[in-house]
Amino acid sequence: MSLPEHTARFTLDPDFTVGPVDPRLFGSFVEHLGRCVYTGVYEPGHPAADAEGLRTDVLDLVRELGVTAVRYPGGNFVSGYRWEDGVGPVADRPRRLDPAWRTTESNRFGLSEFMGFLRKIGPQAEPMMAVNLGTRGITEAMELVEYANHPGGTALSGLRVAHGDKEPFGIRLWCLGNEMDGTWQTGQKTAEEYGRLAAQTARALRQIDPGLELVACGSSARDLPTFAAWEATVLAETYEVVDHVSLHAYYEEVDGDRDSFLASAVHMEAFIEEVVATCDHVAARLKSGKRLTLSFDEWNVWYQRRPNPHPFEDWQEAPRLLEDVYTVTDAVVFGSLLITLLRHADRIAVACLAQLVNVIAPIMTEPGGPAWRQTTFYPFAQAARHGRGTVLDVRPVSPAYRTEKYGEVPLLHATAVRAEDGSVTVFAVNRDRERSLPLEVALRGCGLTRVVGHSALADADPEACNTLAEPERVVPHEVAGAELSDGVLKAVLEPLSWNVVRLA
């Protein structure tokens, strides 16, 4: 295969790496928001529901998706949540107003049901619990940890046993609140207020269970006026008592500027690098040898500016909210965001796709009906399956295009992961909407001899999507022509495409 001058190139060498991939980079998020829980993962009476009311068709898709850590119960929801409402006999649980989303919460699904859901996904699914530091505080967080994790012999651990969960849940990963910098957050706090509360809560939780991993709230968005100053202030209080700091980011096409939307990962890369720099600056100020890592525990494509096509009245139960339908274009941007997370595997310990079912999600369901995969399902599932190992240092040389928001941006966005058996998977996005992009990869010392396969997600219609009527309109397809000869991989990336090239 000969390649023209309009070609992207990079070199792979196993001696030049970014770092190992933490499996929790392929996490997700279940919030009591819209239909994520009710008629999403949980629908008693559905033809596919098991004895616990969990939808087995959804469970099958979640396993196929490859989700690891799952964050719960919010999100904005957690800042007004009483965890006690979601435990014990379901018939005795109170109905509450949820101020975050102006809906009514039945509490039919709570902590025990969530842990049962994770057990049915499989041993790879780890809980990531958030505590309410909006309307509640240290005492309630301590009580939740005791209820969840203490073996027995105390009032709260005994209550868990009485509720039917004899064995402790053993939850290791905890978020100290959610988006506490946001004006939309119930119980919003200043950086000084939150930093002190988070530090006090962290110390108290470690007194109960020293082995916990704790996440401090970083900025809810890079574009907030408090960004970076928030992190610096919060971490000055919490640096030595937490393990990770959170980042949240969502992307959408605005005013028809598709070229900038396709380059969303430029913003995400800068966000990560700036938070890392802030963490390391705080460490230097504190003379600390500790290296803080990041929890990118909310990320996705989310069309926040679009009106809800399913209008609802306040205080409904589980209305249709945030049910974005994703196109091929969205899936390509989504894949580029996944590439960004992998490219920073040395500092990202956890990442959670928000969310898992129905709400800006890769999986959709119909109440009483089927479940299906959105276009974004496929990049996540492929990355979760083939993105395990060590990320190689990929520095592409690529043709570029002009964007309004980010200036000149490379057409190629790529990374590569080397598995324990020496095989390598290249993940690549072609941002060019019109032309194919030839790719040439020099392989040095990799010991690779053949192309296992080249899969692409692309379509002649960039607006193509999967729906209830056409659940398999968009699926990845195999691409012919990729070849490995004399230590060089040559392939062609279709226009506007997400690509997975596997080498062995």
Residue tagged 């958030």 (tokens)? 130
* Mean pLDDT to the nearest integer, 88-92: 97
Q: What does the alpha-carbon distance between residue 438 and residue 446 come to, in Å, rounded to a whole number?
A: 21
pLDDT at 156 over 60: yes
Q: How many Å from the N-terminal Cα to the C-terminal Cα in the chain?
A: 19
Arithmetic mean of pLDDT, 125-146 = 98
Yes or no: say if 328 and 375 are a contact pair by the CB < 8 Å rule: yes
Q: Are 17 and 391 in contact (CB under 8 A)?
A: yes
Average of pLDDT values for 402-415?
Answer: 98
User: Is residue 153 scored above 80 in pLDDT?
Assistant: yes
Q: How far apart are CA 128 and CA 215, in angstroms?
A: 10
Q: Average per-residue pLDDT in the chain? A: 97
Long-range CB contacts for residues 115-118, cutoff 8 Å, separation at least 24: 115/165, 115/169, 116/52, 116/54, 117/30, 117/41, 117/42, 117/54, 117/59, 118/70
Residue 162 above 90 pLDDT? yes
Task: Enter the DSSP assignment of 143.
Answer: H
SS3 track for 231-298: HHHHHHHHCCCCCEEEEEEEECCCCCCHHHHHCHHHHHHHHHHHHHHHHHHHHHHCCCCCCCEEEEEE
Rounded CA separation 382/386 (Å): 6
Catalytic residue (choose from 43, 140, 298, 494)? 298
* Strand extents, DSSP E, 303-436: 348-353, 363-365, 371-373, 390-392, 400-403, 407-410, 412-418, 424-430
179 given a catalytic annotation: yes
Q: 326, exposed or middle or buried, with CB in 10 Å at 0-12, 13-18, 19+?
A: buried
| DSSP 3-state of 353 | strand
Query: 416 by DSSP, 3-state: which?
Result: strand
Express each pLDDT in 418-463 by its tens digit.
999 999 999 999 999 999 999 999 999 999 999 999 999 999 999 9
Q: Where are the domains of the chain?
A: 8-15+393-503, 22-386
- Taken in order 386, 75, 361, 272, is the CA torsion positive or negative? negative
Q: How confident is the model at residue 312 (pLDDT cuts 50, 70, 90)?
A: confident
Domain 8-15+393-503 has CATH 3.30.230.70: no
pLDDT of residue 2: 44
**Phi first, then psi: what are they for 128, rounded to 5°?**
-130, 100
Catalytic residue among 43, 105, 126, 179: 179
**Nearest alpha-carbon partner for 374 in 485, 240, 251, 467:** 467
Domain 22-386, CATH number (from 3.40.50.620, 3.40.50.11290, 3.20.20.80, 3.40.190.10)? 3.20.20.80
Query: d(Cα 279, Cα 231) in Å, to the nearest integer?
Result: 8
Portion of the chain with pLDDT greater than 70, in percent: 99
Largest CA distance in the chain: 72
Return the SS3 of 209: coil
Query: Is residue 5 within 8 Å of 330, Cβ to Cβ?
Result: no
- Tell me: pLDDT of 352 over 70: yes
Residue 298 is among the residues annotated as catalytic for this protein? yes
What is the reported pLDDT for 3? 47
Mean pLDDT of 274-286: 98
Q: Concatenated DSSP letters for 82-99?
A: -GGGGSS-GGGPPPEEET
Contact 13, 394 (CB under 8 A): no
Is residue 149 a contact partner of residue 208, using CB atoms and an 8 Å limit? Answer: yes
Flag whether pLDDT at 5 surpasses 80: no
pLDDT of residue 165: 98
pLDDT at 135: 98
